[in-house]
């Protein structure tokens, strides 16, 4: 009985090892076939970008694997590969940016630029992916994304604030500094993430007053909002002066909304 059990155990281990080898060989073979297929497409189309669009349109479920093969085979063509992959399969933007960053082919900011140019409606997802895989470039990524797609600055800021709540003020300040004309919309988007009377909301309004002090339309909206939320006028006045207004200029806004 002991001999029989030992024999069975050895057979089981051998079988498991054999299956593992078969699976590994199958994966390797599949990868080689995909690589050969991609190279054939590149030769027939004379363009890496066109080849990527063709194969991803045909096999969208294999996007990550095909992009990985393309970047490993044609690393010098990363711009074409990233742009074509994002425009063809934007839902895989996270994987595409991750694969390019893992290979150190370009800075995160350049990849965000390529991705947004390829598919502007996915700007917030491109920024989120880049921040996830290159957190040390967080502010540069935010700056790049909102400059590339200022009309989506509020959505970019909101997406990043949701993913990185502890960096909400960084997102707000960076965004407003780069695209002040949409600052009030960015603030509204971020305020929606926090309770009305929270300390976070108060801090965001006060900081926005400082950053947008020289933008009259935004200032009127901000001071009115501050009054509605019960923020002391002295705090708003001081913030406006830190932003460059004189005491007299700041008083114009304060008197309009705080003085009955």
| Span 143-153, pLDDT tens digits | 999 999 999 99
Check: CB of residue 54 under 8 Å from CB of residue 86. no
pLDDT above 90: residue 106: yes
Does an H or E element contain 83, and which? helix 78-88
**Are the CB atoms for 31 and 25 separated by under 8 Å?**
no
Spatial CB neighbours of 158, under 8 Å, sequence gap ≥ 6: 124, 189, 190, 192, 193
Q: Is the pLDDT of residue 10 over 70?
A: no
Which of 17-46 are b and which e, b meaning 16 or more Cβ less than 10 Å from the residue's Cβ? eeeeeeeeeeeeeeeeebbebbeebbeeee
Is residue 243 scored above 90 in pLDDT? yes
Over residues 67-94, mean pLDDT: 97
pLDDT of 27: 37
**pLDDT band at residue 11 using 50, 70 and 90 as cut-offs:** very low
CB 85 within 8 A of CB 67: yes
Percent of the chain's residues with pLDDT above 70? 88
pTM confidence score: 0.82
**pLDDT tens for each residue of 153-187:** 999 999 999 999 999 999 999 999 999 999 999 99
Q: Which two tokens stand for residue 247?
A: 């005491």
For residue 3, is pLDDT > 60?
A: no
When computed from its CA atoms, the radius of gyration of the chain, rounded to whole angstroms, is: 27
Interval 21-62: pLDDT, tens:
444 444 345 677 777 878 888 888 788 999 999 999 999 999
Q: Are 73 and 38 in contact (CB under 8 A)?
A: yes
Closest CA to 212 of 239, 251, 247: 239
What is the tens place of the pLDDT at every residue in 185-238? 999 999 999 998 899 999 999 999 999 999 999 999 999 999 999 999 999 999
Q: Return left, alpha or beta for 230; rule: phi > 0 is left, psi -120 to 50 is alpha, else beta.
A: left
């Amino acid at each position: 009985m002991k001999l029989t059990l030992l024999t069975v155990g050895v057979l089981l281990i051998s079988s498991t090892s054999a299956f593992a080898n078969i699976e590994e060989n199958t994966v390797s073979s599949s990868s080689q076939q995909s690589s050969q297929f991609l190279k054939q497409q590149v030769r027939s189309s004379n363009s890496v970008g066109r080849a990527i669009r063709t194969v991803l349109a045909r096999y969208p479920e294999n996007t990550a694997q095909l992009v990985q093969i393309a970047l490993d085979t044609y690393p010098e063509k990363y711009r074409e590969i990233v742009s074509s992959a994002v425009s063809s399969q934007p839902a895989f933007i996270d994987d595409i940016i991750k694969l390019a960053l893992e290979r150190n082919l370009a800075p995160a900011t350049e990849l965000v630029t390529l991705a947004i140019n390829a598919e502007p409606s996915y700007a917030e997802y491109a920024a989120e992916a880049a921040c996830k895989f290159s957190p040390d470039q967080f502010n540069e990524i935010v700056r790049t994304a909102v400059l590339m797609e200022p009309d989506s600055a509020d959505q970019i800021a909101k997406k990043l604030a949701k993913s990185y709540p502890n960096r909400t003020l960084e997102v707000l300040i960076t965004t407003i500094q780069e695209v002040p004309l949409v600052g009030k919309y960015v603030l509204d988007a971020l305020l929606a993430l926090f309770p009305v009377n929270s300390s976070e909301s108060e801090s965001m309004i006060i900081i926005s007053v400082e950053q947008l002090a020289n933008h009259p339309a935004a200032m009127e909206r901000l001071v009115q909002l501050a009054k509605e939320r019960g923020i002391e006028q002295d705090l708003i006045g001081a913030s406006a002066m830190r932003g460059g207004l004189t005491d007299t200029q700041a008083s114009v806004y304060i008197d309009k909304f705080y003085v009955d």
